[in-house]
Structure 1
Amino acid sequence: MTALTLAPARLSPMHAVRHGIRRIGFEIRGYTRSPETIFFTFLFPILMLALFSTVFGGDGDQSYGQGLPALSAAQMYLPGMLAAGVLLSGLQNLAIDIALERHDGTLKRLGGTPLSPVSYFIGKIGQVLVTGTVQAAVLLVFAGLVLGVPLPSDVESWLTFAWVFVLGLATSAFLGIAISAIPRSARSASAVVIPVALVLQFISGVYMFFWLLPAWLQNVANLFPLAWMAKGMRAVFLPPEYATLEQSGAWDLGGVAIALLIWLVVGLIISRLTFRWIRRDA
């Protein structure tokens, strides 16, 4: 019998939650000790936003459709970079991190302690929520103060941002835990996870405007959560007139919520079914 099935008997649900909350601090400290992780999942969206605004912003503000208000390149790319930051913080960061911990024996050692998978998940997801929030805040401050992007001034927009951000981050975190079971070694973890994240960014409206993609590719992208996160962010940071460029001609925030909730449940179920302290084929 595996440690996964024994752990719940060792700790009550309340103790598991308390252990998980205490573990959040440990996970954050571990995150800050990895310069590579900080760069690729924390600073990368900021650097990419600066790069795109410089490369494509030389002609000043421009309209991206007939009758649409002129916007800067930085404002156009900000929603996609926020969504990409959510994906990198949750899916990519956790998938690689857990795969490495499985390879170096960390998970095996944790499996021999009273720590339950629930506590471990809480620690990881708590770390993602904290670091992802800081990352988004820094990106917004950089966009507003350095690049001059006008940020929303109404409460409704910020409430929309909050639920899209939190739901997207939780979804990405559970999917990251689920995908961490795929790499068979620490060496293959980055090779498996990073291309998946990169392809999703290219087809989901992060590096290329979503409405410029072929309709069939937009349909493919809509099968995955990143496209919906980017759409939710566009609803917050772009003028309402730009909703006409979407496939449905509207922001469809209800569809955003439903798609992310579906993927959240899928990630949670797969994580619970596949997570092991030790790989069965190890």
Structure 2
Amino acid sequence: MRRGILELKLFFRQRDAVVFTFALPTVLLLLLGSIFDDEMRNTGVTGSQMFTASMLAAGIASTTFVNLGIGIAMDRDDGTIKRLLGIPMPRIHYFLGKLILVLVVTLAEVVIMLTAGVLLFDVDLPNDVSKWATFAWVFLLGVTGCSLLGVAASSLPRTARSAPAVMNLPYLVLCFISGVFVIPAKNLPEWLVDIGAVFPLKWMAQGFRSVFMPDSLLDHEITGSWEHGRVALVLAAWCIGGLVLCLATFRWRSRQAG
């Protein structure tokens, strides 16, 4: 907990990082929601409302996968991790501190985006407990899986300077092929849909749409179903697979240090 509080203090002291972290998904939501605000045929749902649900997944991926990968790469490059290895602190505490950071920041991100969706795009919050339960397990599995992937991917950049480019490129590509920026997702070529279905972002977006969108939108889903069982299975698989990748690829020292 002390390590998590320290990570939060370090994060909120970096004002430019705080503004960029919270602003990027919200600004994308405002832009895309304002452009695609027409009602989707026979659904009673506007494109902006659908974007709000899907962009929640993009916001979580940005806060966990992208920011965590960049942050750890910077810690490795500036010697922070090396110094931590020299103090009597279990190594797992470093990762738990990062997890506390992403949980707090991601919850704040979700609140901001939902507030924007409700105030600007007339998104209706569900009053069904079961839908909020669905939101909870999609959120927790999504945050866990994307965080572990961010930790694993943090070893890819050779330096902290290259980390933003290395982490943001796959993130933006996945936003397109996972049906976040393209609605409905069935408009995507089948081969892109198949690639996007391998990764967790597509399933997070679909899970969140099932919470905040009516069943009239099912005709615009690729399979005509919310597929809650498959969403849970894929996200859980990525939690396990992400942990395996972390154990196999994580580097405590930069490549320059050997």
- What is the TM-score when the length of structure 2 is the normalising length? 0.94
Which residue in the other structure is 1:271 paired with?
Answer: 246
Give the Cα–Cα distance (whole angstroms) in 2 for the partners of residues 101 and 225 of structure 1. Answer: 26
Give the Cα–Cα distance (whole angstroms) in 2 for the partners of residues 56 and 111 of structure 1. Answer: 50
Which residue in the other structure is 1:262 paired with?
Answer: 237
2:178 is equivalent to residue 204 of structure 1: yes
Mapping for residues 86-125 of structure 1, pairs under 5 Å: 86-125=60-99
> Contact between 1:72 and 1:149, CA under 8 Å: does it hold in 2?
no
> Contact between 1:45 and 1:85, CA under 8 Å: does it hold in 2?
yes
Give the letter aligned to residue 214 of structure 1: P
Structure 1 residue aligned with 2:52, among 58, 78, 92? Answer: 78
Deviation at 1:98, TM superposition (A): 0.3
* Percent of paired sites with the same residue: 42
Give the Cα–Cα distance (whole angstroms) in 2 for the partners of residues 45 and 192 of structure 1. Answer: 18
Give the Cα–Cα distance (whole angstroms) in 2 for the partners of residues 62 and 280 of structure 1. Answer: 51
Give the letter aligned to residue 220 of structure 2: L
Cα deviation code 1:43-95 (max 9, x no counterpart): 212111111222222xxx5124xxx3222232110111100011011100100
Aligned partner of residue 162 in structure 2, secondary structure: helix
**Number of residue equivalences:** 256
> Contact between 1:62 and 1:72, CA under 8 Å: does it hold in 2?
yes
2:121 is equivalent to residue 141 of structure 1: no
Give the letter aligned to residue 238 of structure 1: M
Which residue in the other structure is 2:4 paired with?
Answer: 24
Which residue in the other structure is 2:25 paired with?
Answer: 45
Give the Cα–Cα distance (whole angstroms) in 2 for the partners of residues 205 and 41 of structure 1. Answer: 21
> What stretches of structure 1 of length at least 5 have no aligned partner?
1-20
Deviation at 1:280, TM superposition (A): 5.8
> Contact between 2:77 and 2:254, CA under 8 Å: does it hold in 1?
no
Which residue in the other structure is 2:226 paired with?
Answer: 251
> Contact between 2:148 and 2:243, CA under 8 Å: does it hold in 1?
yes
> Contact between 2:40 and 2:47, CA under 8 Å: does it hold in 1?
no
Cα deviation code 1:262-281 (max 9, x no counterpart): 11111111212332321366
Range with bigger deviation, 270-279 or 169-178: 270-279
Mapping for residues 212-251 of structure 1, pairs under 5 Å: 212-251=187-226
Give the Cα–Cα distance (whole angstroms) in 1 for the partners of residues 142 and 162 of structure 2. Answer: 26
Give the Cα–Cα distance (whole angstroms) in 2 for the partners of residues 194 and 36 of structure 1. Answer: 17
> Contact between 2:56 and 2:208, CA under 8 Å: does it hold in 1?
yes
Give the Cα–Cα distance (whole angstroms) in 2 for the partners of residues 154 and 235 of structure 1. Answer: 12
Mapping for residues 186-197 of structure 1, pairs under 5 Å: 186-197=160-171
Deviation at 1:246, TM superposition (A): 2.2
* RMSD between aligned residues: 1.5
Deviation at 1:243, TM superposition (A): 1.9
Range with bigger deviation, 270-279 or 254-263: 270-279
Shift in CA distance, 193/225, structure 1 to aligned 2, threshold 3 Å = same
Range with bigger deviation, 95-104 or 242-251: 242-251
Range with bigger deviation, 29-38 or 207-216: 29-38
Give the Cα–Cα distance (whole angstroms) in 2 for the partners of residues 96 and 241 of structure 1. Answer: 39
Give the Cα–Cα distance (whole angstroms) in 1 for the partners of residues 204 and 2 of structure 2. Answer: 30
Give the Cα–Cα distance (whole angstroms) in 2 for the partners of residues 186 and 281 of structure 1. Answer: 12
Deviation at 1:137, TM superposition (A): 1.0
- What is the TM-score when the length of structure 1 is the normalising length? 0.86
